[in-house]
Each structure stands twice: as C-alpha cells, then as structure tokens.
Structure 1
Amino acid sequence: MPLSTQDALVYLMVVTGSSDSGMSVRELGLIGSLISRSPVFDGFAQDRLGGVANACVDLINGAAGLEGVLDVAIAALPKRLQDTAYALAVEVAVVDLQLPQEELRLLEMIRDRLEIDRLVTAAIEAAARARMRKA
C-alpha cells in the first residue's frame, strides 16, 4: 500500500533525525511541533506519529534499507510539496545546532531525489541556518 503524503513527510523527517545513529529529544520534539503547526499536516492525528515513525524505522532496518525508504517516501509526494518536504527535513537536521557528516549526506541524498531547483534548496538551507543562530 502506498504511503500517504503526510506519512511520506514524516518518513523523511524521521530518516533525517535518525541519520546520525539516533534521534535526539530535540529532533523528536521538533517533528511533533512541525506536525502540529504546519498546514500540510492538517488532519494528521498526532497519536499516529509513533506508529508512522516506527514503521519507517522498521523499513530502514529491513530489506528496503535507507535507499528504499527514501524512494518510497519521495514517490508518495506530489511535485508541489517537494520543496516543503526538503524544508521539513532541513528543519530536523539543524535543530541540534550541529550537522554531522551523516546528516549532510542524507540531505544531499534527499535533495538529489527531489525535483527542486538548486537555488530553492540553497534558500531553504540558508533560511534554516538563519533561524537557528544564537545571539
């Protein structure tokens, strides 16, 4: 059964958060916050987050692996939401105020699979960095 658009967005956030060998409390909290405040998640029941996240992790650890999860998630996204998907993934990646090499590589993998202009991805990344700066 194909993923819903909202589940696909959650998969991409979970994959990003767990790409450096574990999801931090901040990353998990941010995913919940993004779901509760982003219009793209209107109608998504918050109590489904744990089940969707676990299904994603099971796929990553199974035969599909990371590549398969990315392919399934991105295939479920309409073209008009691909920039939204990338923006959500970047938000999760930068929340810890550090970007380990694993997260940078994962963002590159996601970016390469999406049909988004390079200038748009650069703008998304710059905006996320600006929001996370400390005084």
Structure 2
Amino acid sequence: MSTAVQDALIELMVIAASSDATMSERELSRIETLVARLPVFEGFDLARLAEVANTCADKVNGSGGFEEVVEAAISAVPERLQDTAYSLTVEVIASDLHTSQEELRFLEFVRDSLRLDRLTTAAIEVAARARHRRLP
C-alpha cells in the first residue's frame, strides 16, 4: 500500500472529525484505532499519525480550504478503495454518537466526490450506525 494513499485516507478521517469545528476525543481515538488495526493501514508508521493530521490541518487552513484537500485526497485513493475511504469517514463521524448538520454536509460532499452508488453509501452508513449504537 502506498504511503500517499494511507495519508489520503487519514486526511479524510481528520477532516471528517473536524467538519463540525471540533474534534472529539472519541473521534481522535477512533482514528487511532482504525489506523492501528485495519489492513489498509498495514505498514503505516503510527508515529507519523500526528504529523499527517497536522499537515492536513495546515492544508485545510491554507488557501485552498477543505474542499481542495478533500478532492486531492480522493484523487489519491484508487477506485477499488473508494468504498473504504467513505467507510472510514462515516466511521469517524458516527463514533461520537451525534451527527451535526456540518458533518452531514461533509459526508454529502465526500459521497458526491466518490465514484460510489447510493446503495453502497447507504449500506456503509447503516452499518456504522449499527456498530456505534449503545444500550439505552
């Protein structure tokens, strides 16, 4: 797996976590867990996670803004991993058990930028909600 692809996936998760202007501890923890455990991040040096996240934040705060960073990240992700990219963004947003309007708009932007059909994205969203549901 290319480091550039792994960095792009992490950037999408970081932007997803901060899309509502705050990054919760739960979202940050979820990103760390996903990077540490998922096969798509095999070979990624976990010590680089903070560096990639900070670089992403710098890019978003730069002249192009988040749309440019998201589009660049998506273009770095091969088509066969686009469902994985969407799944990671949904997973991070679902992790704090509250989805804001800003997060929903971000997901819509990502969904529209990827080459995924609506049935696939809906299945990913339902699965993430089911994984993060808690007892009353």
Fold conserved between structures, TM > 0.5 = yes
Partners of 1:55 and 1:79 in 2: CA distance: 24
Please state how far the C-alpha of 1:133 moved relative to its aligned partner. 1.2
Deviations 1:21-52 (A, max 9, x none): 11111111110000011000000000000000
Name the % identity: 57
Structure 2 unaligned spans of 5+: none
Q: Does 1:55 align with 2:55?
A: yes
What is residue 64 of structure 2 aligned with on the other side? Answer: 64
Indicate the SS of the match to 1:4. helix
> Which portions of structure 1, spanning 4 or more consecutive aligned residues, are displaced by more than 2 angstroms?
none
Give the aligned partner of residue 73 of structure 2: 73
> TM-score when scaled to structure 1?
0.97
Aligned-residue offset at 1:64: 1.4
Aligned residues: 133
| Post-superposition offset of 1:134 | 1.3
Q: Which amino acid aligns with 1:79?
A: E
Report Cα offsets for 1:81-115 as digits up to 9, x if no partner: 00000000000001110000010000000000000
Deviation digits for residues 40-85 of structure 1 (CA, Å, limit 9, x no counterpart):
0000000000000001000110011011101110010000000000
Name the counterpart of 2:83. Answer: 83
Counterpart residue number, 2:31:
31
